[in-house]
Chains A and B, each alone.
Chain A
């Protein structure tokens, strides 16, 4: 039986097929579809499972780890930068180990396409001393999810499964195996010296961990040099793992035989710990070895003789950016003195259209009001759809999840030390990001006595990653209803006394509210003034249905082609007329949702409701 599956869905399937019954995740591209698929497939097969959107990745990993020390099989799922948030739990979990199984899926985003960094989770696994699988295709990711569970339970260690975006969002025909329904009974054996180990015991645990890794590095199941056909010879060996391997395999298959015969390709399933014999064997077998991996030289760091090895460290493969077939052709050509027939010219495409906020997005209205209210301000941004406020000139900084609040606080403290006037400072953060890591930052900023406007752009969802629910409405990942937790209550609990809720679609009211908030922040009894700009994301069908729509048009007679609306509002439905010498703007009626938010922005008053 086969089914079309996204790489992420295939991993969820692989977990379920090997008896994983707990999954905890925080959404983040490219990993977001794994948890919903886990819950849906588990439900379809009537298996008792628990899947939950944790408030952040650290909590997800702590929760999954705990299930795995009661003998259960569990998974913690996140994107690569989420692993940074979960780092404390991750590194410690390797020392303590597990009695069931714990798979940490950390999805990397070389490019990056939708992330702050191009970091390689395999290197993080190496730091944590956690074995890591690097799957090459969705089908293999499904199988490796199960292998990772089995290896985790066999070794009593957490094991990482590291897909990259190309795999997560690839679709393939996937072979389905049975999903077993053999529930385990949780058992927690009290062993404080293990589960609450003091530094003395941590040292012993570290030694035991090292011993397990040594044995794993000698395990014949992972000897990638032995698996390849014996007798075949070629001057060059290529060592690759994951999607870098699949890319290389397809490329070698497309070359004429005379060219592809120059290479033997070796596939590494477990990049850390790298099998100890494989490197030595291959260094004897080939004149040169090319290591192709994504996105950092993890295999290469573990190889011995650097003279015979090329890859990222000697510049054969660039040290930033996602791999492309052309990059691999260039690297092969270096070995063959440019004798390859395949094309390796750089991709010379003009840049594509940049992403922007959706038509009718309430964030656009919030940013428009913010710019009007505090035009000379500092706008400390955060991570979510609203990072796109940068297109509107309403985001000045974006460091990592939750940093808008710490940065706004610190901008205030630095300017307060100077002699000049303190510019208006605003932290812009979405509801989901606030729950994720904004709360400790707010407690801190309040304690520190910082003064700024906290603009909470509350669209009641985690929009960027596909509308996952937040604790506000209490809806859970499996569709069940939990207790609600209002942002206002949380803000009060953090000591914020000035809280105003406003509908961003009421632009003039919002402009006044933001101005007033900054004035309050500067008063002696002030500090942090919160403005909650509340309106649901229009990507949620129910929100879309509730929208009162208007038919909008632009009068050709009134539009002067000044382009102000394109720059200040940047709605995808505002487009320059084709072949118009005056570059006048018109409404793309297919794209327009009829929110009417653009009606007041034209300096000429050319945007109108159609009669």
Chain B
């Protein structure tokens, strides 16, 4: 039984919600209990979006200050306001082309640039998660994330594209 609190941050339209659904699906496949929360409505119109994922025996999806095990950031500008939720020994993984103060280079991935180079502009979140899934702090294996992608795909075309993006991310680690 995994116990892990993840906070995912980004901007509306980047696929923050999809990423949290993917991790939830992985949790379901692993037989773990989980509860997640995502912003909807007005916040989705290009504004700041966060999704909270708590794996284990939790009742509330909300993550307290200083308690997240992992912070995944899809838009570098969202890092600063969310880092206070990470516990002191927690992990922050950020999609950023620029260095970020207080973060080692190995915690950064130019996921947007990489996705664009591969002509996958809408799959930044998957490239990023393929990479993040290699990190020791990530709750599930890359293979389980692949399974989750397959379970969630609504068409074979989408499945192939999403698996490809995930694999491109994996190769970056």
- A binding-site residues for B, Cβ under 8 Å: 2-4, 29-30, 32, 113-114, 136-138, 165-166, 168-173, 243, 245-247, 249-251, 254, 324-326, 329, 342-343, 345, 347-358, 385, 388, 464-465, 572, 578, 589-591
Contact check, A137 vs B78: say whether CB atoms are below 8 A apart. no
Contact call B35/A356, Cβ cutoff below 8 A? no
Q: Are A249 and B60 in contact (CB under 8 A)?
A: yes
Contacts of B2 in A (CB 8 A): none
**A326 with B65: in contact, given A4-B25, A353-B77 (CB under 8 Å)?**
yes
Is B172 in the interface zone, CB < 8 Å from A? no
Closest to A359 in B: B46
- Nearest A residue (CB) for B63: A325
Which residues of A are found within 8 Å of B39, using beta-carbon distances? 113, 169
Question: With contacts A326-B64, A342-B64 known, what are 4 further pairs, Cβ within 8 A?
Answer: A137-B60, A166-B37, A355-B43, A590-B112
The answer to whether residues A136 and B40 also contact, given A343-B66, A350-B80, A590-B116 and a CB cut-off of 8 A, is no
Known contacts A113-B43, A171-B21; A352 and B37 CB within 8 A of each other: no
Q: How far is the CA of A533 from the CA of B12 in the complex (A)?
A: 26
Contact A29 B40 (CB under 8 A): yes
In the complex, the answer to whether A385 meets B21 with C-beta atoms within 8 Å is no
27 A–B contact pairs at CB < 8 A?
Answer: A3-B28, A4-B21, A114-B43, A138-B35, A166-B60, A169-B40, A171-B21, A173-B33, A243-B60, A246-B59, A247-B60, A249-B60, A324-B64, A326-B65, A347-B65, A352-B78, A355-B12, A355-B42, A355-B43, A355-B44, A356-B46, A385-B45, A388-B45, A465-B41, A572-B46, A578-B98, A590-B121
User: How far does the alpha carbon of A166 sit from the alpha carbon of B51 in the complex, in Å?
Assistant: 11
A30 near B62 (CB under 8 angstroms)? no
- Whether the Cβ atoms of A353 and B59 lie closer than 8 Å is no
Q: Which residues from chain A contact B35 at a C-beta distance below 8 Å?
A: 137-138, 170-172
Q: A171-B24, A342-B64, A349-B84 are in contact. Are A356 and B34 (CB under 8 A)?
A: no
Residues of B whose CB lies within 8 Å of any CB of A are: 11-13, 20-21, 24-25, 27-28, 33-48, 54, 58-67, 77-78, 80-82, 84, 98, 112, 116, 121, 124
B residues in contact with A245, CB < 8 Å: 59
Partner of B65, one of A169, A343, A385: A343
Shortest beta-carbon distance, B76 to chain A, in Å?
A: 10
Query: Bound state CA distance, A351 and B43, in angstroms?
Result: 13
- Smallest CB separation, B84 vs chain A (Å): 7
Select from chain B the residue with minimum beta-carbon distance to A344: B65
Given contacts A170-B61, A250-B58, A349-B81, contact A114 B116 (CB under 8 A): no
How long is the Cα–Cα vector from A345 to B65 in the complex, in angstroms?
Answer: 8
Contacts of B63 in A (CB 8 A): 325
In the complex where A350-B81, A578-B98 touch, is A29 in contact with B42 (Cβ < 8 A)?
Answer: yes
In the complex, are the beta carbons of A352 and B81 less than 8 A apart?
yes
A408 to chain B, nearest CB (A): 23
The docked-state distance in angstroms from the alpha carbon of A114 to that of B34 is 26
A249 to B62, alpha carbons, bound, how many Å?
12
CA gap between A353 and B35 in the complex, in Å: 26
Secondary structure dominating the interface of A: loop
Return A323 CB to nearest CB of chain B, in Å.
Answer: 8
Per the bound structure, the CA–CA distance linking A30 and B41 in Å amounts to 7
Q: For A324, give its contact among B48, B58, B62, B81 (CB under 8 Å).
A: B62
With the chains together, A3 CA to B27 CA distance in Å? 11
Residue contact A358 to B37, C-beta cutoff 8 Å:
no
Report the separation of the CA atoms of residues A134 and B112 in the bound assembly, to the nearest whole angstrom.
42
Looking at the complex, which one of B41, B54, B59, B81 makes contact with A249 (CB distance below 8 Å)?
Answer: B59
A351 to B47 alpha-carbon distance, docked (Å): 11
Q: Assess the B46–A325 pair: CB atoms within 8 A.
A: no
**Which 10 A-B pairs have CB atoms at the shortest separation, nearest pair first?**
A352-B48, A29-B41, A114-B41, A355-B47, A325-B64, A246-B59, A349-B81, A246-B60, A355-B45, A114-B42
Tell me whether A173 and B34 are in contact (CB under 8 A): yes
Residue of B nearest to A243 (CB): B60
Query: Which of chain B's residues have a CB closer than 8 A to the CB of A173?
Result: 24, 27-28, 33-34
Contacts of A137 in B (CB 8 A): 35, 59-60
Whether the Cβ atoms of A325 and B62 lie closer than 8 Å is yes
Instruction: Identify B42's interface contact among A4, A113, A136, A347, CB under 8 A.
Output: A113
Contact pick for A136, options B11, B28, B59, B98, CB 8 Å: B59
> Of residues A3, A254, A351, A355, which shows the largest number of chain B Cβ atoms within 10 Å of its Cβ?
A355
Tell me how far the C-beta of B89 lies from the nearest C-beta in chain A, rounded to whole angstroms: 15
Q: How far is the CB of A507 from chain B (nearest CB, A)?
A: 22
A405 to B155, CA, bound (A): 45
Nearest-Cβ distance from residue B74 to partner chain A, whole angstroms: 12
Name the residue on B nearest A247 (C-beta).
Answer: B60
Return the chain A residue nearest B64 by Cβ. A325
- With beta carbons under 8 angstroms apart, the residue of B24, B60, B64, B112 that contacts A343 is B64
User: Quick check: B59 and A250 within 8 Å, CB to CB?
Assistant: yes
